[in-house]
Amino acid sequence: AIAMENALLYKETKDFSIKLEKEVKKATRDLRKANAQLKKLDAAKSEFISIASHQLRTPLTVIKGYISMMLEGNFGGLTKPESESLEKVFESNERLIQLVENLLNISRIESGRLQFNYQQVDMNNMVASVKEELAANAKKKGLILQYKAPAKPVPTIKLDDEKIRQVVMNLMDNGIKYTKQGSVTVKLEQKENKIQFCVTDSGMGIRPEDMGNLFKKFSRGSGTSLIHTEGTGLGLYVARMMIEAHHGRIWAESGGEGKGSKFCFELPVK
Ligand SMILES: Nc1ncnc2c1ncn2[C@@H]1O[C@H](COP(=O)(O)OP(=O)(O)O)[C@@H](O)[C@H]1O
Ligand SMILES: [Mg+2]
């Protein structure tokens, strides 16, 4: 009787394992199929973002050109309300251009199509010119924007001018954007075999719980004052990608909410 029972048990176990094997095979097949579909979907999404961004960038650049000409008085003098309104249009358009630029960069990074154009670049000039570009924004908010240039200019380094300039621009723009009063101070210096760039502001600061998410895609802080500030949470993510592609490091420091922030990156000097 025991032998009989054993034989039955053996058959049952064998049937079960055959069934199990079949199910695992089917599940694996389903997963492979789903994975292939996801990959296709992801490629389509990247493609869509890329095409949409290109199509958006062209008209936005045209708008920028005409608004600039109007503001410069190329079509005749402007009344104060006219120029003030046009300036608002210009600023909104700039935000849109930045957003499209970020989306384009992200789709390129994620599909491995981002190309770098390395050349010897003088960061002293780069930082000074970005500061000039943002001076009016800071002034409008009553902020002191200062640039502590290195006593001895930093050496030129090999980098993609446009991409690193974008990072410098975003960090300084954030400093101004997230500061209600006080100052935004920019510093450039050589530290041994690295060039370090930092922006220190007296603004809203960063909550400790937000620190770990700053450089992630679409991530914005959790403070209430943030709701009233325009932004997409893409700038720092793109910045991190760009700096890491240059074998550098980017980070943030803050004493906490309301205590101001400091954002720095460093790039190796070769
Ligand atoms: N200087 C700063 N002071 C305080 N918070 C900042 C500062 N810069 C960035 N942050 C926080 O990091 C988030 C991500 O920044 P970013 O990627 O540039 O996005 P965005 O500028 O579109 O909000 C911001 O939404 C904000 O919460
Ligand atoms: Mg930003």
Taking all residues of the chain, what is their mean pLDDT, rounded to a whole number? 92
Q: Measure 221 CA to ligand 1 centroid, in angstroms.
A: 7
The reported pLDDT for the residue numbered 225 is 67
Closest ligand to residue 205's CA: 1
Ligand 1 neighbourhood includes 182 CB (under 6 angstroms)? no
Name the residue among 199, 197, 162, 198 with its Cα closest to residue 177.
199
Q: For 143-156, what is each residue's pLDDT tens digit? A: 999 999 999 999 99
Q: What is the pLDDT of residue 224?
A: 65
Comparing CA positions, the residue from 185, 194, 192 lying closest to residue 263 is 185
> Residue 261: CB within 6 Å of ligand 1?
yes
Query: Which CATH architecture describes the domain 9-110?
Result: Orthogonal Bundle (1.10)
Q: Are 153 and 114 in contact (CB under 8 A)?
A: no
Residue nearest to atom 9 of ligand 1 (CA): 174
Percent of the chain with pLDDT over 90: 71
206 lines ligand 1 (CB under 6 A): yes
pLDDT tens, 199-239?
Answer: 999 999 999 999 999 999 888 888 766 766 778 899 999 99
The yes-or-no verdict on residue 240 having pLDDT over 90 is yes
Which of 29-33, 35-39, 49-53 shows the lowest per-residue confidence on average (mean pLDDT)? 49-53
Q: Are 260 and 201 in contact (CB under 8 A)?
A: yes
In the chain, ranges of CATH 1.10.287.130 domains: 9-110
CATH of domain 118-268: 3.30.565.10
User: Of the candidates 34, 36, 47, 164, which has an alpha carbon nearest to the alpha carbon of residue 111?
Assistant: 47
Centre of ligand 2 to C-alpha 195, Å, is: 22
Residues of the chain with CATH 3.30.565.10: 118-268
**Whole-number Å distance between alpha carbons of 223 and 186:** 24
What average pLDDT does the segment 5-34 reach? Answer: 90
Predicted pLDDT of residue 55:
87
The closest-lying atom of ligand 1 relative to the alpha carbon of residue 229 is 23
Kindly indicate the confidence band of residue 44, based on its pLDDT and cuts at 50, 70 and 90: confident
Mean per-residue pLDDT, 160-188: 96
Phi, psi of 112 (to 5 degrees): 70, 25
Ligand 1 pocket mutation pick from 166, 199, 236, 237 by most atoms within 8 angstroms of CB: 236
Q: With a 6 A CB cut-off, is 220 part of the ligand 1 pocket? A: yes
Closest ligand relative to 200 C-alpha: 1
Mutate to test the pocket of ligand 1, among 214, 218, 225, 251 (most ligand atoms within 8 A of CB): 214
Residue in 133, 107, 136, 123 with CA at minimum distance from that of residue 43: 107
Please give the pLDDT value at position 199.
Answer: 98
Quote the ligand 2 centre to 235 CA distance (angstroms).
5
Query: How far apart are the CA of 167 and the centre of ligand 1, in A?
Result: 13
**Residue nearest ligand 1's atom 18 by CA:** 235
The share of the chain scoring above pLDDT 70, in percent, equals 99
Q: How far is the CA of 54 from the centre of ligand 2 (A)?
A: 21
The predicted-structure confidence for 97-138, as pLDDT tens digits, reads as follows 988 888 888 888 887 888 999 999 999 999 999 999 999 999
Which ligand has its closest atom nearest to the C-alpha of 253?
1
Specify the pLDDT at position 4.
80
